Chains A and B, each alone.
Chain A
Amino acid sequence: MSVSFGDYVYGAYKTTSGVLSTQVLLKTEALDFGLGGLKSIMLVDTGIDLSGASTAIVEVMLEYRNSRIDAFATTSWIKCDPHGVAYPLVTALEFKVNVRASDITDFAIDSIRFVVKQPDRRFGRSDVRAFKAGFTEEER
């Protein structure tokens, strides 16, 4: 028998039909950012730098609802800029954030940063809760 084995780990495996090998897919639990009432997601920063990866794509899609008894509606997939930032501009009570990355074999993500505005004035006092939840204020 003439078969070349390298100094590798060899595996017997099959690929699953529902998961693409070149795609990363992430979805968060429901997020309300510690704020009552409606809030707007202005920016989602995945922290993935796409410069230099010509075919790589990172996209963000939001699921959102305006009441806790409603089903989640979805936005379309929003393509991130070369710095991995998307600007979805969606106002709702709760969100689930989906991140999809294609053709990135060196994909790594350690945090997702959101910039959130709260247009719902009824919950102005909840700024205190926001600070307790770890927010840092950005005047814009």
Chain B
Amino acid sequence: MMEAQENIAAALGRWTGEEVAVAWRLDRKGVATGWCRLRDAANILPAARAMANLEGRLSMVTAYLPTAAPRTGIREIAYHFDLDGATLTIGIQLPAEGAQVPSITPVFRNADWNEREFMELYDIRVTGHPDPRRLFLDESIEPAAFERLIPYSTFSNGASGKALWERVMADNARKETP
């Protein structure tokens, strides 16, 4: 495992041109989780290519605002990759204002929904996404829903079956009116 772990750090270094230090932790069952951070957020795209080259699988993408974000003006995204049971988390930092990150959907197609989801929840622009539509939230809701005060019933689409049905019927009525 040690050798594999060193190969992962070396591959990330080769593909991104950064020196990447990965901190590995083993739990009591011997399951490894690795943690690293890229200096340049744009390097997530070559880092994703490095993961694909190692036959990794994108597990999940987590965008979040650290507790200190209001003070530091820094937000983070954690990309979690599966490497045959081990999980490598690659973190990037972005400015709280005007954050922009390249899409990794061209490398991992399952990044598609992950990126669409964090685009609607956080104030982050994803460049090069092949289909940057809303995923869960209605177009009528302003983007970056996790970063502004929105009535909860609006945020959750007011999505009771009744509310949804009423909207469908209202749309139909509009279409039928000559």
Partners in one complex: no
